[in-house]
Structure 1
Amino acid sequence: MNTASRPEPSEGGGPRIAVFTHDAYGVGHVRRCLHIVQGLAAREPEAAMLLVTGSPALELLRTLPPNADYVKIPTIVTSGTQGTRPPVLPLGLAELSLLRRQVIRETVLSFAPDVFLVDNFPLGSRLELLPTLKELRRIGTRVALGLRDIADPPDKVRRDWARAGIYEVLDRYYDRILIYGVPEVLDAGEAYALSARVAAKIRYCGYVTAASASNGARDQVRAELGVRGPLLLATVGGGGDGFPLLEAVLRAVPLVPDLTALVVTGEFMSAVERDRLATLAGTRRDVLLRHYLRDLPTYMAAADVVVSMSGYNTTAEILATGCPAVVVPRTWRSGEHAKRERRAGSDAEQLVRAKALADAGVVDLLNADGLSPETLAQRITAALSQPRRSPNGTLNLRGQETVVRHLLDLARPRER
């Protein structure tokens, strides 16, 4: 049994910061955590940072800075009629959950961080973080919860948190709640019915995203792609649920004169769906089909219009680059989502975010029930006539630096 205590100072004298993301589906959570780790590395080069994740997106994990490493715990996914399940290891869910719980606990306690940041799910999957949180409270580690601007539809959050005992966990084990958004989009304290004591822990940080690309990088990307006319970037995040939108994009492209489309399927789109898109694209010179792009924000900065769903990371990158965008919130079921058991309100997070950003005038919202090649082509054409927005004129985009500041503040020794 690990009997952790406060660690000796790191060799370079910097703080120890552990970050946890359970990643049961897609790449959004781990990408956001990587942005934060990269910001910490830039601000505090002597810090020692450890990312504990269930994400299978190893390509992303290779982008960690030199003073950071990761521990990969066994992956689980939320899929199929079985709900949460192990996609790789031939173990039962109960056995795999116990394994994850033990690996998380031993890893984090052995590292003995000054600060432990948990992404979006206060107890991880199936209460797996509870033993770790109890021990960290005992040894004096400060613990922060990072929540995206809209964790889930508020009624679902309240229901799930009440059932799982999250309200008590936030009160007892968390020192700070960092909202990766702004109160103008959602007032978390009110929406999630937090007590005054827990709401006092909230800090709104703004949107977390990578640094914007330079004009030189924009020109380099366009030269690399051989694009002279208008460029559309179509992206669907990890891709497991993005086929319907990309199919509509490929059918819309020929309807917009001189348009070239860079279409990114994502790492988790099925081979069958990727093949269907490749067949639809054929040998057309106006479509560039890619499985994965390492530096998506740079390509977004090079584009004249973006078509996407409205997941957190993509919309944050749209805000940061100022690129005109047509967003289609996911309310359909495709790929892994088509297999998942339907849960009331489970798709509403993207719709709430898209409506808020459309009301702020920074995106064009196209509801999925109105999605057709013809309508999409009209929206793309309209977006191409819009000027590029200045990122400074939109919602707070200083999330990365603000989160870093809060974490380093938590890492400072407390007065006795």
Structure 2
Amino acid sequence: MTDIRPKTLFLYVQNLLGIGHLRRAAAVAQAAVADGFEVHFVSGGMPVPHLDIGGAILHQLPPVRAVDSLFKVLADESGQEIDDAWRAVRRDTLLDLFEEIRPDILFTELFPFGRRQMRFELLPLLDRAKAAPWQPKIVSSMRDILVTKPRPDRNREIVETVDRYYDMVLIHGDEAVISLADTFPMYDELTPPVRYTGYVLNPIDMAGDGTGDGTGEVVVSAGGGAVGGDIMRAVARLRPELPYADRTWRFVTGPHMPDDAAREIESHAGPGVIVERSRPDLAAIISRAFLSISQAGYNTLAEVLTAGTASVVIPYEGGVETEQRVRADLLAQRGRLAVVQENALSHDALTLAMQQAVAGRDTGISGIDLDGAAGTARILSELLEPA
């Protein structure tokens, strides 16, 4: 009897500062496994505890992170800036892994629309894949909104890389909400097909009777926490004078929040205030909350939208980031999100937003595709079907 080799997915993801990319990729991995793929989850960032990749096989590359929100300097796990020797070792590790796995699909999360810092290993990987005798399909994926690139030469580089190497581009969003053409000025020059998967959600465990941590609470969170310290500290200081201060407030700082910021938030924790570093079940906690206050990251907003929790979002706008503000404003027009600008965060602004969010709460949002993990797996399977 001849063994039938399962369809194989080589999923490369590099988180540099937060954990949003990693969590989105993990949800895709779970859905692909459920669709019959053998998934090799190749992670290049700092490990994140309790990351659920389902039945995927984890391959942890020597980890690297950005030292700040400008993403220009990369450091290894000991905090040392990486050099060419380090890059060569990691490149060779990645190439050897690719040759060992011989995947049917090479999937690069965000690149080449982002992660330009990783060209030292990704361009050789793409060259190897194009030359591979088994001819794997090559797919790029990205979130719903591209961080605006002001330099035309960088946009030209993206187009040339996509057209040279890729068979398909996947957008983890809903074209009815925002199109890649809205944030990428050279969209019309992309040659491979562009497909929209829907928003990718991490599965929310809603087992039980609907009670538990978060029930009736005001939950304040900042994703991984790497860039959420200023916002959460401000909310913690304002909390005693804000609406609903008589409810339980739960601050989940995130595993990557700097220690000084986390300690200051803890210093404001009086009666009725809970401060936690990390909760793997944060999505379920938010789904049970009376009100969520958070940044406007992709994963958090997708989870808030599907749960129907009243939500105030304070988009992060530091460094070169623009996507949180764009996403928040677009989704505020479609649902019950209330937006407070980071540079306008005050008692009055937050009070008004909280009251608006609670007044407009409902049981979900209609008209947005929130089935993006399964949609991604379905499109990948279709890509392998005979023409």
Instruction: Output the TM-score relative to the length of structure 2.
Output: 0.89
CA pair 212-158 structure 1, distance change in 2 beyond 3 A: farther
Query: What's 2:130 paired with?
Result: 137
Task: Check if 1:21 corresponds to 2:13.
Answer: yes
1:234-280 CA deviation, whole Å, 9 max, x = no partner? 11111111112112222333232422111110111111111111112
Query: Which residue of structure 2 lines up, in the alignment, with residue 248 of structure 1?
Result: 234
Q: Which moved more, 1:27-36 or 1:316-325?
A: 316-325
Residue in structure 2 matched with residue 370 of structure 1 by the alignment: 344
The percentage of aligned residue pairs carrying the same residue is: 24
Alpha carbons 1:209, 1:313 under 8 Å: kept: yes
158 and 354 in structure 1: CA distance in 2 versus 1, 3 angstrom threshold: farther
Letter paired with 1:266: G
In structure 2, the partner of 1:289 is 275
Does the aligned pair in 1 maintain the 2:107–2:138 contact within 8 Å? yes
Give the deviation of 1:55 after TM superposition: 2.0
Alignment check: 8 A CA contact 1:232 1:259 kept: yes
Q: Is 1:174 matched up with 2:166? A: yes
Q: Distance in 2 between matches of 1:211 and 1:320?
A: 11
Q: 1:360 Cα deviation (Å)?
A: 1.7
Q: 1:74 to 1:369 in 2, by over 3 A?
A: closer
2:243 is the alignment partner of 1:270: no
Does the aligned pair in 2 maintain the 1:209–1:400 contact within 8 Å? yes
Match of 2:154 in 1: 160
Deviation at 1:361, TM superposition (A): 2.9
What secondary structure does 1:210 align onto? coil
Classify 1:23/1:168 alpha carbon distance in 2 versus 1 (closer, same or farther; 3 Å): same
Distance 1:278 1:220, change over 3 A: closer
In the alignment, residue 369 of structure 1 is paired with which amino acid?
N
Whether contact under 8 Å (1:329, 1:351) holds in the other structure is yes
Task: Name stretches of at least 5 consecutive residues in structure 2 with no aligned partner.
Answer: none
Instruction: Tell me if the contact between 1:209 and 1:399 (Cα under 8 Å) persists in the aligned partners.
Output: yes
The secondary structure found in structure 2 opposite 1:256 is coil
Q: Secondary structure at the match of 2:201?
A: coil
Q: 1:156 to 1:396 in 2, by over 3 A?
A: farther
Q: Evaluate the alpha carbon distance shift between residue 196 and residue 381 of structure 1 in structure 2; reply closer, same or farther with a 3 A threshold.
A: closer
Match of 2:201 in 1: 209
For 1:54 and 1:110, the matched residues in 2 are separated by: 18
Alpha-carbon spacing, 1:97–1:156, altered in 2? closer, same or farther (3 Å): farther
**8 Å Cα contact 1:189/1:199 also seen in 2:** no
CA distance in 2, matches of 1:104, 1:82: 22
| Greater shift in the superposed pair: 232-241 or 378-387 | 378-387
Query: How much has 1:209 moved relative to structure 2?
Result: 0.6
Separation in structure 1 between the aligned mates of residue 31 and residue 281 of structure 2, nearest angstrom:
16
Q: Which has the higher mean CA deviation after the structures are superposed, 293-302 or 242-251?
A: 242-251
Residue type of the alignment partner of 1:113: P
Q: Which runs of 5+ in 1 are unaligned?
A: 1-8, 333-341
How far the C-alpha of 1:92 sits from its partner, in A, is: 4.0
Tell me by how many angstroms 1:138 deviates.
1.9
How far is 1:22 from its partner? 1.7
Secondary structure of residue in 2 paired with 1:177: strand
Aligned to 2:377: 404
Structure 2 counterpart of 1:354: 328
SS in 1 for 2:210: helix
Q: Which amino acid aligns with 2:110?
A: N
Q: Aligned letter for 1:108? A: F
Task: Give how far 1:217 is off.
Answer: 5.7
Give the Cα–Cα distance (whole angstroms) in 2 for the partners of residues 394 and 304 of structure 1. Answer: 23
Q: Name the aligned partner's letter for residue 390 of structure 1.
A: G
CA distance in 1, matches of 2:301, 2:125: 33
Amino acid at match of 2:154: D
Whole-Å Cα distance in 1 between the matches of residues 58 and 136 of structure 2? 19
Q: What's the offset of the Cα at 1:166?
A: 2.2
* 1:79 pairs with 2:79: no
Question: Are 2:134 and 1:147 aligned?
Answer: no
1:325 aligns with 2:344: no
Give secondary structure in 1 for the equivalent of 2:223.
Answer: coil
